[in-house]
């Protein structure tokens, strides 16, 4: 075989190889396109839902923040199906959201086999899915009883507060874990809970005042309380201050899942009232003079069950890069209230405070 013929065969083989690769790429592109089209066109239980309030239905904002597992697909779905407050149409109870730049990290109560599931999404094209943020529990804690996590940023460290069940006593108490990355893995080497009063403690959330002082807010047995955190977030300082107890009929003896937000020099303590596994669960709020109190509970629930969605609870707050305030929360869908019939999906609503009154949209 001459050198020229050998070179020609090699050239033909190279062309066929390139054409084969191009064909594979084209097929993959068609498959991806088909998946995108299906995701965009299909309806889900999260479409066309809105919450109730004293001022009327609360529908989704037309421009929700870019968080959730679908990324650009979700944006296209918003265009096709209209606004939806749902950013994760699957079980993601008691959510809290941390934003770093254009990246968002959402943490939730144990579900889908994770102790602390986290959604990590990055900007508009994020494709976040649930991952494990807390792979190992401390020796004193029971599995499947980790809930209502909240993360504080301290320098290059991330501090996770969460509820856990003490195996020996069955009490629900608070613990703390640490990580060098926002999605974890968080590590908890504690020999005992951080907070464990008589009657137990649940639902920790973090609030950082304009001064930079961080507070941990949680539910003690029968009251929502607040206490300052140390500079590194590893411990509490001072004494706890009582912020709120159940005093209104709609609360039915229960207030929990607190979260505080500041606006124009005022402090708003949002919380869930009534019983979490019922459609009567709802969100209320109180106004507070300081993060340590005193607080005045505003009459009536502020956000309630509505069209296609029931039992909103676990309010939390974060801002987008423009400074716009958002509320995260969880709720049941289509009257499938309570496990194992339903799940509590992650919703996000835009917040504003006209004349000092909180309004969701």
H helices within 42-114, ranges in order?
A: 72-81
Q: Which pLDDT band, with edges at 50, 70 and 90, does 122 fall under?
A: low
Question: CB-hemisphere CA count at 13 Å for 216?
Answer: 35
Contacts 24+ apart (CB under 8 A), 240-245: 241/292, 241/293, 242/293, 243/217, 243/269, 243/286, 243/288, 243/292, 243/293, 243/295, 244/269, 244/271, 244/286, 244/295, 244/297
Q: What pLDDT shows up at residue 134?
A: 98
Look up tokens 């019983």; give the residue.
275
Q: What pLDDT digit, counting tens, does each position of 289-330 carry?
A: 999 989 999 999 999 999 889 999 999 999 988 899 999 999
Binned at pLDDT 50, 70 and 90, residue 161 comes out as very high
Which residues are bridge partners to 285 per DSSP?
270
Structural contact between residues 273 and 248, judged by C-beta atoms closer than 8 angstroms:
yes
The answer to whether the peptide bond before residue 294 is cis (omega within 30 degrees of 0) is yes
Q: In what order do the strands lie in the sheet with 130-132?
A: 96-100, 103-107, 117-122, 130-132
Lowest mean per-residue pLDDT among 6-10, 50-54, 311-315: 6-10
Q: Exposed/middle/buried for 21, CB within 10 Å: 0-12, 13-18, 19+?
A: exposed
Residue 347 has pLDDT above 50, yes or no: yes
Q: Provide the mean pLDDT of the chain.
A: 85
**Which among 274, 291, 294, 293 is positioned nearest to 282, based on CA atoms?**
274
């Amino acid at each position: 075989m001459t050198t020229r013929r050998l070179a020609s065969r090699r050239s033909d083989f190279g062309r066929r190889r390139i054409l084969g690769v191009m064909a594979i790429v084209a097929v993959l592109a068609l498959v991806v396109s088909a998946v995108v089209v299906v995701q965009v066109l299909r309806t889900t239980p999260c479409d066309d839902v809105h919450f109730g309030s004293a001022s009327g239905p609360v529908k989704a904002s037309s421009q929700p923040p870019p968080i959730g597992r679908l990324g650009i697909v979700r944006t296209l779905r918003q265009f096709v199906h209209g606004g939806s407050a749902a950013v994760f149409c699957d079980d993601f109870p008691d959510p809290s959201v941390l934003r770093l730049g254009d990246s968002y990290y959402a943490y939730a109560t144990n579900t889908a086999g994770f102790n602390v599931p986290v959604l990590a999404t990055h900007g508009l094209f994020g494709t976040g899915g649930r991952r494990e943020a807390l792979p190992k529990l401390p020796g004193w804690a029971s599995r499947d009883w980790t809930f209502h996590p909240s993360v504080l940023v301290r320098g290059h460290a991330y501090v996770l507060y969460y509820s856990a069940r003490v195996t020996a006593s069955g009490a629900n108490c608070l613990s703390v874990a640490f990580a060098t990355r926002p999605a974890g893995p968080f590590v908890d080497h504690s020999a005992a809970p951080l907070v464990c009063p008589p009657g137990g403690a649940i639902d920790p959330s973090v609030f950082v005042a304009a001064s930079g002082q961080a507070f941990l807010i949680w539910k003690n047995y029968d009251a929502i309380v607040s206490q300052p955190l140390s500079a590194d977030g590893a411990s509490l300082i001072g004494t706890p201050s009582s912020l709120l107890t159940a005093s209104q009929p709609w609360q039915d003896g229960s207030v929990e899942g607190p979260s505080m937000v500041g606006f124009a020099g005022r402090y708003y303590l949002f919380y869930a009232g009534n019983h979490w596994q019922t459609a009567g669960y709802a969100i209320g709020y109180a106004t507070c003079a300081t993060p340590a109190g005193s607080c005045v509970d505003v009459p009536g629930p502020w956000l309630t069950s509505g069209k296609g969605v029931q039992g909103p609870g676990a309010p939390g707050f974060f801002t987008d890069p423009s400074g716009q305030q958002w509320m995260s929360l969880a709720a049941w869908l289509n009257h499938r209230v309570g496990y194992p019939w339903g799940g509590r999906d992650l919703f996000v609503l835009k917040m504003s405070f006209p004349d000092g009154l909180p309004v969701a949209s």
